[in-house]
Amino acid sequence: MLSLPVTLPRFRLDGNPTPPSQAQINAAENRVKQQQGALGAQQGRLSAADAQLASLQVQAEVLTQRYDQTLVDEQRASAAYRVTQARLAYAQQAQAASQHRLADLAAEEFESGGGFGPMTSMLGNASGPQGYLNEVGLGQVLARNGTDTVAEAQANDVVAGAFRKQAHDLLVAEQADLQAASHLKLAVQAAVARQQAYVRASQAKRNSLASQLAGAQAHAAALKSARQAALAAEAAAAAKAAAAAAGAGGSTTAPSWAWSSGAPATQGDAAANFALSQLGKPYQWGAAGPGTYDCSGLTMEAWARAGVQLLHYTGYQWEEGPHVPLDELQRGDLLFYATDNSDPATIHHVGIYIGNGMMVDAPYTGAFVRIDSIYAPGTPIGAVRPAG
């Protein structure tokens, strides 16, 4: 899990936090609201960008399918063009044969008539057979000369021209469609790529704002916790002074350790530093590392790194060192929490002190190893300095 940097409030050198003012807390909460607004606006922009991207992707799929269809049509047109070219070649051969037969007919006319008859005039007419037919009249010529041959020649001319035009127009049209479809496909693909880049940038901006919001929330929570810790410490000190004045003793039982028998500060520092290195690892009931922890598993492993063996149970850890007043805490001391501070048998949670009124703990299922105020779970029932 990524741990976000949190700027904590300033503390006095005696280890007790200087409580932030309510104005500081209000400013931090306003900052959280601003970050929430910015994140919400960016999320809206990202949602719109995602919707536009989805629309473009659908358009691209549709146009790609149209392109594929045009490609198939162009392939079919090319095949049809080849077939039409073959038909054209056949028509041209028929045209040539018809013209040859028409020439033979003219020769026969010349030979039979001994000179230039109507057929000769027809072939020699400056406008060709059609001009001749126009001059002498269609019925007379068809009656006198080879009607079928002339008609065949004219028909073959028409067919050859039609095939020639059909083949050319078909191929040109399909090639133009293919080129247009290809250009349109490239344009849409480019638009999709640009939109994808915009979405990625929007996602990065959203993630950055989410990180800033998390930092602002953590900062506001730290200010609140520090203020609560300081006020609670002042209240506890006042209660302690009042109890001392009245001659009252403590309400919780503690083992008969000599205070000086607790582990030295160097071992406490080692335990606290290890606990800090485990921030962000998930809580898991009954776990003691290396990837997951419960509360007593974390404190047990932290002190094991400092050379002190503890048992994996808060009730036993409560008895594994001298009890220390809350105003005399040092790094590494264990802080215990109970449902009833008059009864150590109700202890249910333990954290490890890191200084400045803060501790590292593995709080509960679904949470992660984190830094909390020593008063976040409530007022501690007491503290223990494990024995070295």
Q: Residues 319, 242: contact at Cβ < 8 Å?
A: no
**Distance separating the N- and C-terminal Cα atoms of the chain:** 33
Q: What is the pLDDT of residue 3?
A: 40
191-225 pLDDT, tens digit per residue, is 788 878 888 888 888 888 887 887 787 777 767 76
Q: What is the residue-averaged pLDDT of the chain? A: 75
29-39 pLDDT, tens digit per residue, is 888 888 888 88
As given in the structure block, the two tokens for residue 249 are 């003793």
276-291 pLDDT, tens digit per residue, is 999 999 998 888 989 9
Q: Where are the domains of the chain?
A: 47-207, 261-388
Euclidean distance between CA atoms 153 and 176, whole angstroms: 35
Prediction pTM value: 0.39
Q: What DSSP element (H or E) covers 344? A: none
As given in the structure block, the two tokens for residue 370 are 């984190």
Measured over the CA atoms of residue 342, residue 344, residue 348 and residue 352, the dihedral's sign is positive
Q: What is the pLDDT of residue 104?
A: 65
145-193 pLDDT, tens digit per residue, is 555 555 555 555 666 666 667 667 767 777 777 777 777 778 777 878 8
Q: What is the pLDDT of residue 147?
A: 52
109-123 pLDDT, tens digit per residue, is 555 544 444 544 545
As given in the structure block, the two tokens for residue 140 are 């007379």
Residue 312 CB coordination number (10 Å): 15
Instruction: Calculate the alpha carbon distances from 112 to 5, 116, 149, 281, 283 in Å.
Output: 117, 10, 18, 117, 120
Least confident window among 36-50, 96-110, 270-284: 96-110
Average pLDDT over residues 79-103: 70
Q: What is the pLDDT of residue 351?
A: 96
CATH architecture of the region 261-388: Alpha-Beta Complex (3.90)
